[in-house]
Structure 1
Amino acid sequence: MSGQRPSVPANDNGITPIQQMVSSCSGALLTSLLVTPLDVVKIRLQAQKSPFPKGKCFVYCNGLMDHICVCMNGYKAWYKAPGHFNGTADAFVKIVRSEGIRSLWSGLPPTLVMAVPATVIYFTGYEQLRAILKVKMGQYEQFAPMLSGAVARVGAVSVISPIELLRTKKQSEKLTYGQLRNCVQTAVKAEGWLSLWRGLGPSLLRDVPFSAIYWYNYERFKRRLCQHYGTSEPTFAMTFMSGAMSGTIASILTLPFDVVKTRRQVELGELQAMNLSHKASSTVTVMKKIVMQHGVKGLFAGFLPRVVKVAPACAIMISSYEMGKDFFRKYNQARTDNSASAGATK
């Protein structure tokens, strides 16, 4: 094989970890801006069919991460909408007409506070781990993306989990930061530091398998497209298509985990909101309950909405991330060339 590289690992192209972080941050912002309206409309449609009572939790996703939100009296930005919606398109039109276009991004700022740093940790960790594992794993290097994606996701979710718990608690009771600190101190004293990671299991239930499947297929699709078109550098269209296809496959294969994870997240969020410390149902218990109530098909509920949302989110995130890396790679190369030219003229 020639010196050209079919894939584009950041470390192999002279991109620093800081530049990787900036690239992932810009990708996170763009993805959130484009995908958040889809979830806001979805929540409005859900609330229309079954209004959320006070203290009820629901899952909100900005295209990057899932977050538990707690319904409160007067908290109408999420789910209390005038009129009746006849579908997704009708909801978009009526929300914009009656509340303004900004309402489609309800709740975006607080979720970005967690989503952006989590995405930075996730993508930068993935790049660094993959570069190391490709060397360490030798003939099994094709599995480096799978292992790197899983480990990076564990790290990102673990870092954000305590913040998610605190945000849920603050939202549910509108606590001051002083009261929130006392609440944390009481929980730690009674149950230990691990109490801050309550709910980590449900979060990892879907995210880790999804991440492993996603990165393995993404790198494989990207490499094959490069080989098919005879290029060593993937274009924007190649990364976008690879991200969409790998995201679709990962979302389909992990859908049962997503259904169980959502049920457990909501249950844990409501326990936290009511300040109850007893354990939520186990994964196996929730799965059995779903099968008993709805049959095996219940584990695949929400198939189409999940694929419709996840596929473009993955495509937008990874293609914008790769564009950022490509920009910095060219920028670094130009600086190197200029330095070489300057040195040659002396």
Structure 2
Amino acid sequence: MANEEVVRDVSKQNDSRSTSTSLLAGAIAGLIVDVTLFPLDTLKTRLQSQYGFWRSGGFYGVYKGVGTIAVGSAPCAAVFFASYNYIKDVQYEKMPELLFPVGHMLCASVSEVAACVIKVPLEIVKQRRQAIEGAGHPFRIIGNTLKREGFLGMYRGFGTTVIRDIPFSAIQFPIWEALKTQWRESSQREISPWEVSLCGAIAGGIAGAATTPLDVAKTRIMLAEQSANTKTPSFVTVLIDIYKTSGMKGLFAGFIPRIVWIFLGGGIFFGIYEKAARIIDDVNNNKNTKLNTY
């Protein structure tokens, strides 16, 4: 019983990150995973495109748009994890343990909205680079979007992205937290970064499978270049249209590369995040110890 309490205290300490640690570790993990798995994301986008896989580029130029995502992935992941851990720490003090899964859903959802403020404009540029032939340089895409659609054109699909990402995170993070807790309790020790990584991969795969239709709708909306006077279709309208024209197969377009991408990405992301966070915490602790000795 005492050993269980020690494991619980250590795991709570490891799960509780300072804002600075969460920012830096999240930025490192986000950058590495997005750049490493970018080709899978490109193939997924092209499979979901209304222009068709081959007209969108097929297997050619799978790194088109990687520069945009390299610039944006670090701040997106940093904002998400800083928000997530801050809100979670507050909940740890005020919420009974029985309600922790609900708390994880809540703080993951709020954190996704915060990250989407940065993510959506970058997704617009990235996906148009990936799937629209002759889209041009990122600055050209931004210029054309602002000219044709106004400032809100850079946030085309924001609502759909939020609607996709909130369910995704609301599924992924409670499963991730629950898997970590079960692994700790069954092994009676603090789990390693690679074990945290496996928990993240499993959680991400489940969440990715469940939210694929929403991802397809988000991709279609973002790829549609329309005039400022044309109203952006709702994700419900897009989903209905996809189902009418392509059935269930259309709603789950890009399913395999998406699941592979999210499974591998979740594993790499959470593993790197955990390892980086522990290294950062160790460095900070060593600095504090040295300062206290003087």
Q: TM-score scaled to structure 1, two decimals? A: 0.69
CA 1:131–1:303: 2 relative to 1, 3 Å: same
157-166 or 167-176, which moves further after superposition? 167-176
Report deviation, 1:180: 4.2
Report deviation, 1:9: 5.6
Tell me the residue number matched to 1:261: 218
Following the alignment from structure 1 to structure 2, what is the Cα–Cα distance between the partners of residues 117 and 309? Answer: 20
Matched, 1:229 2:187: yes
Matched, 1:7 2:11: yes
Tell me the residue number matched to 1:154: 113
Tell me the residue number matched to 2:286: 334
Which of 239, 259, 267 is 1:315 aligned to?
Answer: 267
Matched, 1:247 2:204: yes
Letter in 2 for 1:226: R
Which of 162, 165, 169 is 1:204 aligned to?
Answer: 162
Tell me the residue number matched to 1:145: 104
Matched, 1:125 2:128: no
Report deviation, 1:8: 4.7
Following the alignment from structure 2 to structure 1, what is the Cα–Cα distance between the partners of residues 138 and 286? Answer: 52
Greater radius of gyration (CA)? 1
| Identity value in percent | 25
Report deviation, 1:254: 1.2
**Does the 8 Å CA contact 2:167/2:211 hold for their aligned counterparts?**
yes
Letter in 1 for 2:78: V
Superposed CA RMSD in Å reads 3.6
CA 1:284–1:9: 2 relative to 1, 3 Å: farther
Which of 216, 234, 237 is 2:174 aligned to?
Answer: 216
**Does the 8 Å CA contact 1:121/1:156 hold for their aligned counterparts?**
yes
CA 1:18–1:152: 2 relative to 1, 3 Å: same
Which of 24, 27, 42 is 2:26 aligned to?
Answer: 24
Following the alignment from structure 1 to structure 2, what is the Cα–Cα distance between the partners of residues 298 and 136? Answer: 44
Following the alignment from structure 2 to structure 1, what is the Cα–Cα distance between the partners of residues 47 and 15? Answer: 44
Tell me the residue number matched to 1:281: 233
Report deviation, 1:181: 11
Report deviation, 1:164: 5.2
Letter in 2 for 1:197: Y
CA 1:228–1:307: 2 relative to 1, 3 Å: same
Report deviation, 1:335: 3.2
Q: TM-score scaled to structure 2, two decimals? A: 0.80
CA 1:200–1:144: 2 relative to 1, 3 Å: same
Structure 2: runs of 5+ lacking an equivalent: none
Tell me the residue number matched to 2:36: 34
Matched, 1:302 2:254: yes
**Does the 8 Å CA contact 1:202/1:265 hold for their aligned counterparts?**
no
Following the alignment from structure 2 to structure 1, what is the Cα–Cα distance between the partners of residues 27 and 247? Answer: 41
Following the alignment from structure 2 to structure 1, what is the Cα–Cα distance between the partners of residues 236 and 34? Answer: 32
**Does the 8 Å CA contact 2:80/2:115 hold for their aligned counterparts?**
yes
CA 1:214–1:6: 2 relative to 1, 3 Å: farther
**Does the 8 Å CA contact 1:11/1:128 hold for their aligned counterparts?**
no
